[in-house]
Structure 1
Amino acid sequence: MKQGLGTQLRHLIELLDGAVAASYEAAGIDYRPRYTPAMRALAQGGARTVGQIAEAAGITQPAATQTVALMLKEELVTTTPSPTDARQKLVQLAPRGQALLPRLQRCWTATGAAAASLDADLAYPLSELLAQAIEVLDRQPFGERIRVARERLDKNSDNNNEEPT
Structure 2
Amino acid sequence: MKQGLGTQLRHLIELLDGAVQQSYVEAGLDYRPRYTPVLRALAGGQPCTVGQIAESAGITQPAATQTVALMLKEGWLAVEASPTDARQKLLRLSPQGERLLPELQACWRATAAAADSLDADLPHPLSDTLTRAIAALERRPFGERIRNAKE
* TM-score category (smaller protein): over 0.9
How far 1:86 moved relative to its partner? 3.2
Q: Provide the rounded CA distance (Å) in 2 between the counterparts of 1:143 and 1:82.
A: 39
Could you say which residue in structure 1 is the equivalent of 2:64? 64
CA deviation map 1:34-88 (0-9, x unaligned):
0001001100121000011111111111111111000001100011122223332
| Alignment gaps of 5+ in structure 1 | 152-165
Could you say which residue in structure 1 is the equivalent of 2:12? 12
SS at match of 2:84: coil
Alignment of 1:132-143 (within 5 A): 132-143=132-143
SS at match of 1:112: helix
| Alignment gaps of 5+ in structure 2 | none
Which ranges of 4 or more aligned residues in structure 1 deviate by more than 6 Å?
none
Alignment of 1:18-33 (within 5 A): 18-33=18-33
Could you say which residue in structure 1 is the equivalent of 2:46? 46
Q: Provide the rounded CA distance (Å) in 1 between the counterparts of 2:38 and 2:76.
A: 11
Q: Provide the rounded CA distance (Å) in 2 between the counterparts of 1:60 and 1:8.
A: 23
Q: Provide the rounded CA distance (Å) in 1 between the counterparts of 2:84 and 2:135.
A: 35
Aligned length: 151
TM-score by length of 2: 0.98
Q: Provide the rounded CA distance (Å) in 2 between the counterparts of 1:128 and 1:63.
A: 24
Residue 106 in structure 1 maps to residue 139 in structure 2: no
Q: Provide the rounded CA distance (Å) in 2 between the counterparts of 1:88 and 1:13.
A: 34
Report which of the two structures shows the higher radius of gyration computed on alpha carbons. 1
Could you say which residue in structure 2 is the equivalent of 1:75? 75
Over aligned residue pairs, what C-alpha RMSD do you find? 0.7
Could you say which residue in structure 1 is the equivalent of 2:145? 145
**Code of the aligned partner of 2:67:** T
SS at match of 2:25: helix
Percent identical among aligned pairs is: 72
How far 1:17 moved relative to its partner? 0.3
Q: Provide the rounded CA distance (Å) in 2 between the counterparts of 1:146 and 1:84.
A: 46
**Code of the aligned partner of 2:71:** M
CA deviation map 1:96-121 (0-9, x unaligned):
00011000000000000000000000
Q: Provide the rounded CA distance (Å) in 1 between the counterparts of 2:7 and 2:86.
A: 43
TM-score by length of 1: 0.90
SS at match of 1:80: strand
